[in-house]
């Protein structure tokens, strides 16, 4: 069974600081993908970053980077230089069907 765990229901970060959002997963698939999405209060799901299980390097997309530790089955999202607009729910997802974690609510403090 696929399972995604996000242990931080809520996080606070000072503007311009970096923050790490945790995600662990459980899978028996030999090859898989991991995703992070942002969901602002409007409800839309915004794709942030993707990591393939066989990718040699950690994925980066602008201020977003993914700290992928395959042996630990973790795929933590790092947001650098936080901005007020980063305040939102963040979801980690896994697999072809995109099973989502429970999400982390991030609040950026001015």
Instruction: Give contact residues for other proteins (rule: CB under 8 A).
Output: 33, 35, 37, 42-45, 47, 50, 52, 91, 96-103, 105
d(CA 62, CA 48): 9
Nearer to other proteins, 18 or 52 (CB): 52
Nearer to other proteins, 86 or 103 (CB): 103
Closest CA to 91 of 59, 43, 53: 43
CB of 45 to other proteins, least distance (A): 4
Which residues, 6+ apart, have CB-to-CB distance to 100 below 8 Å?
4, 37, 91, 92, 93
Nearer to other proteins, 74 or 105 (CB): 105
Closest CA to 88 of 106, 103, 100: 106
CB of 105 to other proteins, least distance (A): 8
């Amino acid at each position: 069974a696929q399972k995604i765990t996000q242990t931080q229901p809520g996080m606070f970060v000072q503007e311009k600081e970096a923050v790490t959002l945790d995600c662990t997963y459980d899978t028996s698939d030999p090859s898989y993908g991991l995703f992070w999405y942002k969901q602002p209060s409007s409800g839309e799901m915004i794709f942030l970053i993707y990591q393939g299980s066989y990718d040699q390097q950690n994925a980066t997309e602008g201020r977003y980077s993914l700290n992928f530790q395959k042996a630990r089955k973790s795929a933590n999202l790092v947001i650098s230089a936080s901005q007020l607009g980063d305040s939102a729910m963040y979801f980690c997802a896994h697999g072809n069907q995109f099973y989502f974690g429970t999400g982390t609510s991030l609040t950026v403090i001015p």
